[in-house]
Structure 1
Amino acid sequence: MNGALALSLIIFFAVTIPVAVSIALASIFGIVFFSNLPLLVVPQKMFTGLDSFPLMAVPFFILAGNLMTKGGVSHRLVDFAKSLVGGTQGGLASTCVVACMVFAAISGSSVATTFAIGSILIPAMVKHGYPVNMAASIQASSSELGVIIPPSVPLILFAVSTQTSITQLFIAGIGPGLLIVCVLILMVQIWCRVKGYGKQDGDDKKSIISAFFRAFWALMMPVIILGGIYGGVFTPTEAAAVAVMYALFLGLIVYKEMKLSDLPELFKSAAMSSGAVMLIISAASLFSFLISLSGMPNVVGAWAHSTFEHAWSFLLAINILLFFVGMFIETAAAILVLAPILTPVAIAFGIDPVHFGIVIVVNLALGMFTPPLGVNLFAAAQVATIPVQNMFKSLVIPVFTMITALMIITYVPQVSLFLSDLMN
């Protein structure tokens, strides 16, 4: 059944059937033709896959991101980021990276980060003389922080699919996220100086104090959410609900940039996005059940141990595999299908599952801005109103920069684990 499941899934993907439907159809195909299971197992396993308290965090974080984008949070975060790093040549590009980092610590979504920050900074960078394709590429690559800096929806999905601690994964995401921020800032600073862009970026720089007080309530969001999780005040799922309430408080009462009449459309948008993710999760749960039943994890484990002698070579192979998977397959689907298969093999090689989860998510985040199907790529192109293919050439530098950061995160586990080690 292993080969039939994999082949049918590839065929369904190739003919551009939606991801969730492809996974479900491949599972049903395997049940009907290669097993003695009744079809009743389909709704049972799809329901069981969603019957998880931690998964409730996903729609809450998606809704919180929508509320904050509408509620005026992004403008204030951009101003604060610009007050910190916007006073030098290339300051606007650096502001993009820092603003994405802060917004990522609130939204948990890279696409939401692209639209919220990109709608402000891409036009600003173009106005200051940056080529529009370069501005869009910087935004697309910086927005991947939305799924690395906690809270992160992909980290939640990895935790649920592999029975790993969400709190430990959130803690582990901080170090890699900060490393990527530093690497991206270094990249844009060198890029701007070599090309001569951004010489006037510091002209309208605001004072740090005034920008801080203007963004104070927005900056309290990650403090409340992450502080509450790590301090044991509430679970990640409860934190997601708190994020929604706090976003409503900011948008309706503090900043007053959101009206009650805006809420139905925001709820509808969040419901549509959540429904798409949940459908993928339920289909992937059925697929994972069949994969486990067929013994594929054991087969993959035996093959890996006979092929790779050391953990470093296994990790290299996984990074190459995930790099290409991320270019073509939606992140949630890739995690839910591959993580239950690969994680036991990684553990057998002595790799910490929390570290391995970070490696998977960072690698798939790279796929979010690589052609041909990177979601951040299309979002940034939409904001910049340019064809996606116009960005391809300017993506070379960010892609190689991120590959460098990925290699450091992969082979220096303490980048991910030092904070959790300190807290244990």
Structure 2
Amino acid sequence: MLFLGVPISVGIGLASIVTALFSFPPDVFAITAAQRAFSGIDSFSLLALPMFMLAGNIMNKGGIAQRLVRLARLFVGWIPGYLASTNVLANMFFGAISGSSVAATSAMGSIMGPLEKKEGYDPNYSSAVNICSAPTGIIIPPSGPLILYSITAGGVSVAALFMAGYLPGLLLGLCVMGVAIFIAKKKGYTASTIKEEDSALKILWDATPSLFAVILVMVGILKGWFTATEAGVVCVLYCAVLAFIYRELKLKDLYTMLADTMVSSATILFLISASTIMSYVMSYSGIPAVISEALMSVSDNKYVILLIMNLFLLVMGMFLDLTPAVLIFTPIFLPIVTSIGMSPVHFGIMLILNLGIGSVTPPVGSCLFVGCRVGGVTIEGVTRYIVPIFGAMVCALLLVTYIPQISLIVPYLLGLIPTM
């Protein structure tokens, strides 16, 4: 269905129906499918997704992104090719607040692109760094994909997943920044020569209210003041108030933002409904067990199994968007990794990181297409810069995969998981 150009959600639904006809009477499956489709989205936790999406839209339009860029430049202005490093750091800041890699790609590309062009940076290089650093936003919490994984995995602690995302997200960002600096030195890009009119303290003061959104959300969840779903509402209200205070947001802008969020949310909910039917059909048909046995027959060494799984997910990430991939592969691979002693929290971070890397690769990479459009470049042009950065991102993925402590140390110290 995908190769024929059928929309992913429709393709998933049709594939599930055809498969189910081998196991169910048609009238029985019709009722079962309707029930499963409804129950799949009849979830309080799912309300967090449109809320964080709306929060990301408000941040993008409300002047929050620009303040985060100035703060990032304050930290890395001394580095050769500092604007590229600023882009990486700004994506980490913005992504951590918005929880969306695509929103970060669009927002930071729009801001950093003209600045980098003015200083003589190759637009292909600038766009590649922006594209590859954007996935840090779905690892560093709050993160919509981690919430989606929690629901799909049967209730893995959202707080534990959020806390587990900090160090892997930081590691991914540093790996991208390292390659960006290496290329910048080869191309002769210099450190910052811009003299800020405001003091460092003033820049930090201006950005602090924006950064406080992350603190408010995470502290509120950990302290039990509100759930992850309610945190999305709190984040929307806080960012809206902040945007109005900055006078960057007008009431008429809210209509467009709400409409965009509604359309995006409806698309995701329909996809989740179709994926719920598919998960049920796969479980009933024993497909995950067959795949598990096939993997185990290759090797019983957990390191080899994880390597095969990573390679498979990296390839699939090139063809599937993140949301359907989480819904499809979580029920297949989660039983396998738990059987070899891997924590569901650790696997969740590995899965999202894998699929985040897939978002920068063709032919379906959402960050790739958005970044190229915003940067005014072609996929062919950015590819030669993306390839070495992609290698660094895979190195970060392997470190996260084979060193569980990178993901689990923070939630363990906070008492969110019993052991590492």
Question: TM-score range, shorter-chain basis?
Answer: over 0.9
Distance in 1 (alpha carbons) for counterparts of 2:11 and 2:365:
19
> 297-306 or 208-217: which moved more?
297-306
Q: What secondary structure sits across from 1:415 in the alignment? A: helix
- Residue 153 of structure 1 deviates from its aligned partner by 1.3
**Equivalent residue for 2:139?**
148
- The equivalent position to 2:78 in structure 1, one of 64, 84, 87, is 87
CA contact (8 A) 2:136 2:170 kept: no
Match of 1:107, as an amino acid?
Answer: S
CA contact (8 A) 1:100 1:146 kept: yes
- The equivalent position to 2:21 in structure 1, one of 32, 35, 40, is 32
Deviations 1:349-399 (A, max 9, x none): 111111011111101100110122211111011111122222111111110
- Residue 261 of structure 1 deviates from its aligned partner by 1.1
Q: What secondary structure sits across from 1:15 in the alignment? A: coil
**Equivalent residue for 1:228?**
220
CA contact (8 A) 2:76 2:85 kept: yes
**Equivalent residue for 2:393?**
402
Q: What secondary structure sits across from 1:215 in the alignment? A: helix
Deviations 1:53-74 (A, max 9, x none): 1111000000110011111100
Distance in 2 (alpha carbons) for counterparts of 1:404 and 1:305:
25
Deviations 1:91-137 (A, max 9, x none): 11111111111111111110001111110012211211111011000
CA contact (8 A) 2:91 2:108 kept: yes
- Residue 292 of structure 1 deviates from its aligned partner by 0.7
CA contact (8 A) 2:80 2:191 kept: yes
- Residue 263 of structure 1 deviates from its aligned partner by 0.8
**Equivalent residue for 1:339?**
330
- The equivalent position to 2:376 in structure 1, one of 369, 376, 385, is 385
**Equivalent residue for 2:209?**
217
Distance in 2 (alpha carbons) for counterparts of 1:243 and 1:165:
20
Q: What secondary structure sits across from 1:93 in the alignment? A: helix
Distance in 1 (alpha carbons) for counterparts of 2:243 and 2:218:
20
**Equivalent residue for 1:139?**
130
CA contact (8 A) 1:311 1:351 kept: no
Match of 2:61, as an amino acid?
Answer: K
1:305 aligns with 2:296: yes
Distance in 2 (alpha carbons) for counterparts of 1:160 and 1:346:
17
CA contact (8 A) 1:72 1:251 kept: yes
**Equivalent residue for 1:18?**
7
Q: Percent identity?
A: 38
**Equivalent residue for 1:246?**
238
Deviations 1:274-302 (A, max 9, x none): 11111111111110011111112222222
**Equivalent residue for 2:265?**
274
**Equivalent residue for 2:64?**
73
Structure 1: stretches of 5+ with no match in the other structure = 1-11
CA contact (8 A) 1:55 1:237 kept: yes
Structure 1 stretches of 4+ with a deviation exceeding 6 A read none
Q: What secondary structure sits across from 1:220 in the alignment? A: helix
CA contact (8 A) 2:40 2:276 kept: yes
CA contact (8 A) 1:176 1:415 kept: yes
| TM-score, normalising length: structure 2 | 0.95
Distance in 2 (alpha carbons) for counterparts of 1:27 and 1:129:
52
Match of 2:241, as an amino acid?
Answer: F
CA contact (8 A) 1:88 1:202 kept: no
Q: What secondary structure sits across from 1:39 in the alignment? A: helix
- Residue 232 of structure 1 deviates from its aligned partner by 2.1
In the alignment of these two chains, the number of paired residues is 411
> 305-314 or 326-335: which moved more?
305-314
CA RMSD of aligned residues (A): 1.3
> 286-295 or 27-36: which moved more?
27-36
CA contact (8 A) 2:77 2:191 kept: no
- Residues 191/207 of structure 1: CA separation in 2 closer, same or farther (3 Å cut): farther
**Equivalent residue for 1:3?**
none
Distance in 2 (alpha carbons) for counterparts of 1:417 and 1:24:
36
- Residue 303 of structure 1 deviates from its aligned partner by 2.4
